[in-house]
Structure 1
Amino acid sequence: MAKFIMLQGTSSHVGKSILAAALCRIFKQDQWKVAPFKAQNMALNSYVTQDGGEMGRAQVVQAEAAGVEPSVEMNPVLLKPTGNASSQVILMGRPVGVMSAKEYHAGYSLQALDTVKQSLKSLSDQYEVLVIEGAGSPAEVNLKANDIVNMRVAKLAQAPVLLIADIDRGGALASVVGTLELLDPAERDMVKGIVINKFRGDLELLRPALDFLENKTQKPVVGVVPFLDNLGIDDEDSVSLDDKTVVGQRDIEVAVLRTPKISNFTDFEALAHEQDVAVRYVRPGDEIGQPDLVILPGSKNTVEDLVYLRQNGYEQEIRRLAEAGVPVIGICGGYQMLGREIHDPFHTESNLDFIAGMGLLPIVTEFAATKMTHQVCAGCRNHAFLGINYSDDQLQGYEIHMGRTDFVEAVRSAFTIAVRSGQPIQAEDGVVTPDGLVMGTYIHGIFDNDGYRRAVINALRQRKGLTPLEVKENFRDRKEKSYDRLADTVRKSLNMDLIYQIMGAAK
């Protein structure tokens, strides 16, 4: 039976996910076989496992930090908001329907509890340590009766809980005391320590507050973790985009449209870490400006996001930039938006049967009732986007989409998928326009491929008369180093001896 440690927060976005990743890496470094677990996750950033299951990106990051292959057991329930207070419910990697918040919390969540229990047991049989993450706050009394992710999971696993507070947003002491006050006595006893996260400043000046907190709650402060910036680790939620600032002047500027239902924005993390590239997210009210490349990202609700772009003048601006020769890329939902028509006969995403696309690509998309989720290996021969004439037959990525896209005239495909979910296949993906300036693809993660990413950037450099650069960035190596840096900082900030003692585990 595995040893457990659970991280719960005084609210959402206090840093539970990143601290869980840090602990996964620390336990791995300490020679434990460790895995993450989060019973229920709500996020638009998702990932496809080797067997085609869909799970939350945060648990993928934590699995990578732990050095293990991600599996849907690590996140048995995933909620992907679709709009109108509803979410697509994904159970063990497969969608089971779209439910309103009331339908899910008042009915379905407890039905999913058996699956949560099975996943927790399976992982505890396979691993020596489980790092369990909660969601939101355990003190949300209106949701407590149907909770399957916070204290109910702690009780199932008999997992000691560390309560995390974000001091950067203010009110950390009150949020800790208030959270503990709203827990019942048995739940309060399960909280074995407090972590103050995102601290900036002199720790000695904080010391009286820590002493007060320990005396008031009778819980030890296990550590104070500094504010961590530019980690180079995938974010889970688009809320984190609010924290991203535009870097100073760089040779190449990429503008990514931040639509209301943006998903899988981690597609652009590798671009953002290139030293000659500035990635700017175009927020509501911002102008696109004059970037070197415009990207339409994936979307959980393509129709809603297309309407947003249309009503706020962004569609017209994108068309104007494309006509002026600015390259445009659409990925997944963005690819669908660039086409001529989108049909939704089953009302998968909206009440509309049809909506016109931007007309920049000769494609028509029809939403289907079933979702395609696959890891893929793809290739390109003499890739025509921006005239880069690039070839590679080992491009790695993944597909997550509900639509089937047809070409309405002869086109040049962007990529050819050779392996889908481990099975050989020959499937054309995406489109590159004859002038090489507009491209669409269903493949997420395409920029994580170092050679391809640099080929695109160098083509943009050459358009500006700049010298091409060699491939310097290995994105996967960078992530591994980032996990180690994160672990080193958190290890120094937390009393790991106390944490091991709380877990009942010997180092």
Structure 2
Amino acid sequence: MTRTLLVAGTASHVGKSTVAAGLCRHLADRGVDVVPFKGQNMSNNARVVLAAGETDADWGEIGISQYVQAQAARVTPTTDSNPVLLKPRGDGESQIVIQGEAVGHARAGEYYENHWERVRDAAEESYRRLAESHDVVVAEGAGSIAEPNLSHRDLANVETARFADADVLLVADIERGGAFASIVGTLELAPDDITDRIVGVVITKFRGDRSILDPAIEDVEERTDVPVLGVLPHDDPGLPAEDSVSLPEEGVRGGDDVPPNRTVTVGVPRLPRVSNFTDLEPLARVPGVRVTYRPLSASLADVDAVVVPGTKNTVDDLLALREAGFDEELVAFDGPVVGICGGYQMLGDRIGNAHVEGTDDRQVVDGLGRLPVETTFTTDKRVEAVTWDVSGSGSGPLAGASGDVSGYEIHVGDTHATEPVDRPVGPESAAVGDVAGTYLHGLFENRTVREAFVDAVYDSADRTRPDRRGDRENPYGAAATLVRECVDLSAIPSAGQ
């Protein structure tokens, strides 16, 4: 019989994804056939995976966290692990992706009024398929499990707990303050049948002496009769973030492991509608490389390279760059520049058939002019895993890469060159001088591309790269160790294997 554990939270961004990934790897290490699941996710960080069930498509989209958790569980990810994905587009509207396929757009009220039965049925259908072929399902909730205004249509938490007959592990973040009040309040406000399923609580992101918490833990356990099963230290294992809430207004990742005179800094514009910024995570794990997310009011004077990431709305983010004056920073920057997906489209000369928020007409919008390419938007969306040979790709900041590279495309729009260009990564890519653009998400997960880019940045900055070339430890094992050492897993029937 399949057992299911729902990792739920007292709020958003409390560490549910890390706990779920750690549990997936812990169980996989013990030979358990485990698979991740999230009934409904909201994120613009998506991955392309195999489509499950009866569908004409070979590929579909799921949220990054379920992709990561599938990797942790050592199973091939499919769209069943995240059957409903909402991708915010701005102005209160989201694209709706059901079992991997984009089916339309809706605002919150319209979504529940017009799509609720369909998405709930899809989530339960996907769960049933997973449960039929795996021994344990580690499900992840969304936000808080105790929202009285949403409990009758809370797909990721309440509905999943019910149709999966799941045990529930409650996660609370102590870093933000009020963790114990959040625990008591959540247990008070959650539906009675959900509270009855909660097997314990895990407190995350604690700094300091663990014994300091003992009086509060004893008090909460006495008040609620629910045990606190563990306290996780503030120790980020380095898993990709699910959404931009995790990005500070100007944050830096990596680069702390070598002397400052042997580091390089990669600047990333913090676009208002940034998506798939996890493309940058592999760079932040390279010794000596600092990845800094820059608000559009910032300067690029102190960075050595720029990567313009993907976006859920290329045109409006391009206009936001221009309004803030950040376009001038990008045009004037004379180091290596790489644009990925929407970032690539921005680097071109023009974008045609473009829709601008607040208008009904389609128009041509000027790009940044760093690459001689033009993009025309269409109604078709490309969702596909791809592999390309990059040997002999010519000039540009990705030159020097060789062999096959793999990743995925999620985009609308066709891009063509108006002048001769090198094709560094894929038939629609372009490179001229120190500037390159590609539609390949997961670009820097390929070691050959990552090494070529980092070498180009060090060469451009006229700095000596550290001798140590190995990337930092794979984060899945670190997440499993964190959970295994800090949580009483024996008290969780579905995880104490």
Same fold (TM over 0.5): yes
- Pairwise mapping of residues 336-347 of structure 1 onto structure 2 (< 5 A)? 336-344=345-353
Residue 361 of structure 1: how far off its partner (Å): 1.4
Contact kept in structure 1, 2:315 and 2:355, CA below 8 Å: no
Hey, what does 1:326 align to over in structure 2?
A: 335
Return the alpha-carbon distance in structure 2 between the equivalents of residues 414 and 463 of structure 1. 18
Return the alpha-carbon distance in structure 2 between the equivalents of residues 388 and 506 of structure 1: 46
For 1:272 and 1:12, locate their aligned partners in 2 and report how far apart those are by CA, in whole Å: 24
Match for residue 168 of structure 2 among 158, 161, 166? 161
- SS of the equivalent of 2:196 reads helix
For the 8 Å contact 1:346–1:368, the answer to whether it is kept is no
Q: 1:208 aligns with which of 203, 209, 215?
A: 215
Code of the aligned partner of 1:22: G
Aligned to 1:444: 441
Q: How does 1:295-314 map to 2 (within 5 A)?
A: 295-314=307-326
Post-superposition offset of 1:136: 0.7
The amino acid that maps onto 1:158 is: D
Which whole-Å CA distance do the structure 1 matches of 2:496 and 2:281 have between them?
Answer: 37
Distance 1:506 1:357 in 2: 54
RMSD of aligned Cα (Å): 2.1
Structure 1: distance between partners of 2:482 and 2:275? 29
Contact map agreement 2:172 2:182 (CA 8 A) in 1: yes
Which residue does 1:83 correspond to in 2?
90
Shift of 1:245: 3.3
Q: Which residue of 2 aligns with 1:491?
A: 484
Task: Return closer, same or farther for 1:336/1:290 CA change in 2, 3 Å cut-off.
Answer: same
Q: Which residue of structure 2 lines up, in the alignment, with residue 7 of structure 1?
A: 7
Q: Please tell me whether the aligned partners of residues 348 and 367 of structure 1 are also in contact (alpha carbons under 8 angstroms).
A: no
The alignment status of 1:240 with 2:246, answered yes or no, reads yes
The answer to which of 205-214 and 136-145 deviates more is: 136-145
Corresponding position: 1:292 with 2:304: yes
Give the Cα separation in 1 of the matches to 2:439 and 2:358. Answer: 18
Q: Is the 8 A contact 1:41 1:78 kept in 2?
A: yes
Q: Secondary structure at the match of 2:240?
A: coil
Shift of 1:169: 0.5
User: In the comparison of the two structures, how many residue pairs are matched?
Assistant: 483
CA contact (8 A) 2:371 2:435 kept: yes
- Secondary structure of 1:483's aligned partner: helix
Which of 295, 315, 318 aligns to 1:283? It is 295
1:420 corresponds to: none
- Whole-Å separation in 1 of the counterparts to 2:408 and 2:308: 17
Partner of residue 407, structure 2:
397
Listed one character per residue, the Cα deviations across residues 99-141 of structure 1 (whole Å, up to 9, x for unaligned) are 1111112331232111111111000001000001111112222
Distance 1:238 1:397 in 2: 21
Aligned twin of 1:113: 120
Task: Give aligned-pair identity as a percent.
Answer: 40
Q: Distance in 2 between matches of 1:410 and 1:284?
A: 31
Alpha-carbon offset, residue 251 of structure 1: 2.6
**Partners in 1 of 2:269 and 2:240 — Cα distance?**
18
The separation in 2 between residues aligned to 1:168 and 1:387, in whole angstroms, is 40
**Does 2:74 align with 1:64?**
no
Higher mean alpha-carbon deviation, 310-319 vs 367-376, is at: 367-376
Range with bigger deviation, 243-252 or 41-50:
243-252
Find out whether 1:383 has 2:393 as its counterpart.
Answer: yes
Query: Corresponding residue for 1:422?
Result: none
- Could you list the per-position Cα deviations for residues 282-320 of structure 1 after superposition, in whole angstroms to 9, with x for gaps in the alignment? 024322223211111100110111011000010011111
Whether the 8 Å contact between 2:336 and 2:397 is mirrored in structure 1 is: no
Answer yes or no: is the 8 Å Cα contact 2:397–2:452 preserved in 1: no
For 2:48 and 2:395, the matched residues in 1 are separated by 26
CA offset at residue 345 of structure 1? Answer: 5.9
CA contact (8 A) 2:217 2:228 kept: yes
Aligned to 1:412: 422
Q: Which residue of 1 aligns with 2:45?
A: 45
1:410 aligned counterpart, secondary structure: coil
The 2-side partners of 1:233 and 1:188 are apart by 29
Quick check: 453-462 or 57-66, which moved more? Answer: 453-462
Which 5+ residue runs of structure 2 have no aligned equivalent?
A: 51-57
Deviation at 1:439, TM superposition (A): 0.8
Distance 1:219 1:387, change over 3 A: closer
SS at match of 2:385: strand
For normalisation by structure 2, the TM-score amounts to 0.92
Amino acid at match of 2:245: V
**In structure 2, how many angstroms separate the alpha carbons of the residues matched to 1:236 and 1:185?**
30
Contact 2:397 2:436 in 1 (8 A): no
Contact 1:27 1:34 in 2 (8 A): yes
Q: Which amino acid aligns with 1:161?
A: V
Q: What displacement does 1:226 show?
A: 1.3
Amino acid corresponding to residue 287 of structure 2 in structure 1: Q
- TM-score, length basis structure 1: 0.91
Tell me how far apart the structure 1 counterparts of residues 399 and 82 of structure 2 sit (CA, whole Å): 40
Does the 8 Å CA contact 1:344/1:350 hold for their aligned counterparts? Answer: no
Aligned to 1:152, the other structure's residue is in SS state helix
The change in CA–CA distance for 1:388 and 1:109 in structure 2 (over 3 A counts) is closer
Measured in 1, the distance between the counterparts of 2:308 and 2:358 equals: 18
Q: Please, which of 279, 283, 292 is the counterpart of residue 267 of structure 1?
A: 279
CA contact (8 A) 1:303 1:350 kept: no
